[in-house]
Structure 1
């Protein structure tokens, strides 16, 4: 079978989840009959060094087209020429600006086009709303629009289509390389570095930003300590709100039981060291990678029922969910897991299976190949 040639187009190679997810996708696609070229719509000056390093390590060497403005009258014809000259069978866009340009360009070139949106949206102010709205209208005129969680699809319909989901809008979960995340014996040294001792260790891996709900966990922790006085909450990460979170911990008198352990590069070992992995997000979550990683590691997970989290965590089967912004609900859920080692174990196997069958990069790549073949055959 002749390989399919796919132009994978993204706004630019900035530092973000959508950009870095192209690396595991590229690696997984080598197991399929799809050849992908990765191209940034914007100028190369916007590309983040870290993103380019991640892509390079995955064997991806992208190029940039230098189309910098939505009102650039040369953008669509230039992109149409790129599609034709590259001999591409299909165009797949990621993010908004690339969708806006690629749909009319792909139609000029006579190729099918798939557009993926990567976040849960809301009614943004001013230009950002209209930028998204234009992308929505363009993408819906393409062949397929993909959202990486049901929450994302619903949010875009509510904001941009008065709640109506278009017929060509589907959910297709992103995947990650899960091969490094598996159950195993905890490394005692890593557990100590995370603040763990003889008592239970709850790990909260997240950027220190408001939507991750870390203050909710801090508020809940005294209730956890009433039942498990030697429990440790290990905050793994960093970010702009760290000083405020430290102040909250100090004010609550929790400096001995809520530990700031910084950003870690050994996350497979971090998950193995944890008794429970906690994510108390309060808004904005689409498909948090840490929950896929923790699931593949076979860890008991407590997470808020918000955004795309229920796409990953099947409540009572692969983890436990609680209502967001509710410290009492968070504490009750964590205590239930800490009280019951058998429950923690029983959640692990289904979580591992779901991570591999639903959220691996290999699954993602093969599902995309099937979609590409379907759309190319339909176009013929």
Structure 2
């Protein structure tokens, strides 16, 4: 039985796209007969108050996660190297205790650098997986600036890990092509696309009419109905790059063609206050509903109210290179999806086939695309079926983990000088 130790920035019980992808990978590998564990660095926080601490290891949802304890301090640069050192030492201890066959590190580069130290010390193959370039994510989150010293330093660290790993995976073609453009061998870099655990998705549950009543959404729209729907929805984090300001700006124009249209925004984040202020000043203010963050175990009730899931990401280096998870989850639930035509969405959605793509950064284009979708409800059942089939065929973790297994075995058989033969 192959033992794989996953090196992670953070994990369950925290909830994020990062932790949900991690859970899906580990649970699918378990189901395939592999022995897996995870270890998190100092940036994983325990408890509702986000303090460091908690147990040195814990089992969550049948998965074992080891923790790196302590803190790191000092000036920028020195603090990060101390963080990497503590993380590498924690990985060393798990290796001595558990004896994994492969280390599988997941971005950011700090995880990769700590794993690289441990892999060299113990002569264990290292696989490094890039989910996003974190320097670009910082720009998208408005916490960094493209071309700054920190941006360039983060990129340089990423390059160092890619060069030092025995095999590399990215989640999409955009990231892989960017690395090849930097001079890295295409044969070393495979693709493990974003996916969903299809075992978690069955037929969509019934509409929660009581919740709809509390939110003031009204009755579910149907073909030929007037005065109600469609309900346009977004469920996730409110970051600037998500383009929710454009979605809000599209509502007055949308309501000229669909007078009963509502916008349901579920979640929160850095742009929350600005978006609420924009919505309050909109001529369509009465049709825009904010719920705030909701517990994960009731999210399905909010999904049940939404006719069209909208993902209006702004065009940027981040959104062109990275594929998001949320549209795949929506398609797996049999939902209609509309998204901007950034590169990350184009890898997931075929316009007019599995969903609708509209021009990014253009509220008028958003409004027209959503209105057109609402006018063509008769096509929705077929679009839902095609989208679900696409996810089942190309984005089911039960199938996708085979990409990892073949690479793991290749590296184990060849030793740490093994090179990834194209697995994507």
Could you say which TM-score interval applies, normalised by the shorter chain? 0.7 to 0.9
Match of 2:289 in 1: 259
Q: How far off its partner does 1:328 sit? A: 1.7
Paired residues in the alignment total 372
Q: How far off its partner does 1:229 sit? A: 0.9
Q: Compare 333-342 and 101-110 and name the one that shifted more.
A: 101-110
Match of 2:325 in 1: 289
1:85-144 residue CA offsets vs partner (Å, 9 max, x unmatched): 532211100111121232353244332211011114534522353133223222233221
Match of 1:276 in 2: 308
CA contact (8 A) 1:268 1:297 kept: no
Q: Is residue 165 of structure 2 the alignment partner of residue 142 of structure 1?
A: yes
Instruction: Find the aligned partners of 1:76 and 1:346 in 2 and give their Cα distance.
Output: 50
1:1-380 matches, within 5 Å, as 3-13=1-11, 16-40=16-40, 42-43=41-42, 46-49=44-47, 56-65=59-68, 69-70=80-81, 79=91, 83=95, 86-95=98-107, 96-120=109-133, 121-122=135-136, 123=146, 125-156=148-179, 161=182, 166-178=186-198, 179-180=200-201, 182-197=203-218, 198-265=228-295, 266-282=298-314, 283=316, 284-285=318-319, 286-379=322-415
* Change beyond 3 A, Cα 1:329–1:351: same
* Change beyond 3 A, Cα 1:156–1:268: farther
What CA RMSD, in Å, does the superposition of the two structures yield over aligned residues? 3.0
* Change beyond 3 A, Cα 1:165–1:261: farther
CA contact (8 A) 2:252 2:283 kept: no
Does the residue aligned with 1:342 lie in a helix, a strand or coil? Answer: helix
1:169-197 residue CA offsets vs partner (Å, 9 max, x unmatched): 22211333341464344232233345422
Structure 2 unaligned regions, length at least 5: 73-79, 137-145, 219-227, 419-424
Q: How far off its partner does 1:364 sit? A: 3.7
Does the residue aligned with 1:216 lie in a helix, a strand or coil? Answer: helix
Q: Compare 270-279 and 185-194 and name the one that shifted more.
A: 185-194
Instruction: Find the aligned partners of 1:208 and 1:75 in 2 and give their Cα distance.
Output: 30
CA contact (8 A) 2:194 2:325 kept: no
TM-score, normalised relative to structure 1: 0.86
TM-score, normalised relative to structure 2: 0.78
Q: Compare 272-281 and 10-19 and name the one that shifted more.
A: 10-19
Structure 1 unaligned regions, length at least 5: none
* Change beyond 3 A, Cα 1:133–1:336: same
Q: Compare 304-313 and 86-95 and name the one that shifted more.
A: 304-313
Instruction: Find the aligned partners of 1:320 and 1:176 in 2 and give their Cα distance.
Output: 20
Does the residue aligned with 1:315 lie in a helix, a strand or coil? Answer: coil
CA contact (8 A) 1:153 1:165 kept: no
Instruction: Find the aligned partners of 1:78 and 1:294 in 2 and give their Cα distance.
Output: 37
CA contact (8 A) 1:206 1:212 kept: no
Instruction: Find the aligned partners of 1:97 and 1:365 in 2 and give their Cα distance.
Output: 24
Instruction: Find the aligned partners of 2:21 and 2:277 in 1 and give their Cα distance.
Output: 34
* Change beyond 3 A, Cα 1:76–1:287: same
Instruction: Find the aligned partners of 1:308 and 1:319 in 2 and give their Cα distance.
Output: 14
